[in-house]
Amino acid sequence: MTASQPSRRSSQPAPRQVRLRAALEDIPTYVPGRPPAHEVAYKLSSNENPYPPLPGVLETAVEAAGSLNRYPDLHCSRLLAELAEHHRVPVGHLAAGTGSVALTGQLAQSVAGPGDEVVYAWRSFEAYPIVTQVAGATSVRVALTAGEEHDLDAMAEAITERTRLVFVCSPNNPTGVAIRRGPLERFLDRVPGDVLVVLDEAYREFVRDERSETGVPPAEGGGSVPDGIELYRERPNLCVLRTFSKAYGLAGLRVGYAVAHEPVAAALRKTAVPFGVSQIAQDAAVASLRSEAALMRRVAALVEERARVAEALAAQGWTVPESQANFVWLRLGEATADFAAACEKAGVTVRPFPGDGVRITIGEREANDLLLGVAAEFRRGR
């Protein structure tokens, strides 16, 4: 036996437990939005779409279910071809995943490991710390500004030799604030070309750029909220994530996608679980893309509700950051748990982040009204 061979196990009794990687030890668990606990109840805790699937989508899904004995199309060919046309990008720059949350994990695994750093804003999407830790890499969290925005200067300064990946979430989950063109481009210019930037645009469809639409001059250096897919074209280290879970209303089917140059797109194809995206999901996503007009009407209705809810909350005296997503954020600090409990008692579930605040999804009108009632009462009681 040579020294380089692993030594044989001795005849001592074997340890009883499987040895897991130490990196898994204190990984925070992903907290799903709580289901409602009452009879008349609304779930405003997971940023889901309150509407049923778009016209034609359910029929398409049912038809695809007729082939459940078959594996799905491994390459998601029809979906990616449709997306390539939709966004005018090469099909080789696209990768589908079982929700864009799966893609965040694949990206972390592709570029970061032990000793590497992953930079992201905090608070932001709760999957980032999880996927970073699973990859064995180290999280570097950069606090949001007092205005609940990404502090992009501080994030650029947090990049070191060890940084391999930066997550940028716009609009940011859970605060709803979107990043404008000037600051985002200046940030991207500062990131070294060998560091991957993932721009997570899960809520892109809900962005309404009032400052540019109303002709009001943008804030200094601000400008409109850019479309990541336009930015990626000139930037080989930028990967954009989109999902069918939010505006498109297909959260239950698990399908999202990435737009990135090679070799990032190729890495996503390599790290995907084979046949992960079901045929039902692929076909429903294609049908949803073809239902663009109906999608836009629904998104417009939710955006209108968002404005109504935000204005009503502001009128009650709350500070509400300008949300460009399908939710609003209330920074409640120590009162977070009490507020969430009051909502639950009234028949609406919201998403509390203990000690920080609550994220409230914009839902059906009655649900939003119920929420506004709780918020008003809570305010009076403080």
Residues that bind ligand PLP (CB under 6 A): 47, 99-101, 125, 169, 173, 200, 202, 243, 245-246, 251, 256
Q: Of the two residues 112 and 325, which places its CB atom closer to ligand PLP in the complex? A: 325
Q: Of the two residues 169 and 267, which places its CB atom closer to ligand PLP in the complex? A: 169
Q: Of the two residues 251 and 342, which places its CB atom closer to ligand PLP in the complex? A: 251
**Minimum separation from the CB atom of position 7 to ligand PLP (A):** 44
The Cα 231–Cα 134 span in angstroms is: 29
Residue showing the smallest CB distance to ligand PLP in the complex: 99
**Minimum separation from the CB atom of position 152 to ligand PLP (A):** 17
**Minimum separation from the CB atom of position 293 to ligand PLP (A):** 23
The Cα 136–Cα 70 span in angstroms is: 35
Q: Of the two residues 100 and 368, which places its CB atom closer to ligand PLP in the complex? A: 100
- Contact between 198 and 235 under an 8 Å Cβ cutoff? The reply is no
Q: Of the two residues 173 and 291, which places its CB atom closer to ligand PLP in the complex? A: 173
Q: Of the two residues 51 and 335, which places its CB atom closer to ligand PLP in the complex? A: 51
**Minimum separation from the CB atom of position 3 to ligand PLP (A):** 47
**Minimum separation from the CB atom of position 117 to ligand PLP (A):** 20
**Minimum separation from the CB atom of position 163 to ligand PLP (A):** 20
Q: Of the two residues 101 and 130, which places its CB atom closer to ligand PLP in the complex? A: 101
**Minimum separation from the CB atom of position 84 to ligand PLP (A):** 19
- Contact between 264 and 221 under an 8 Å Cβ cutoff? The reply is no
- Residue 200 in tokens: 């997570």
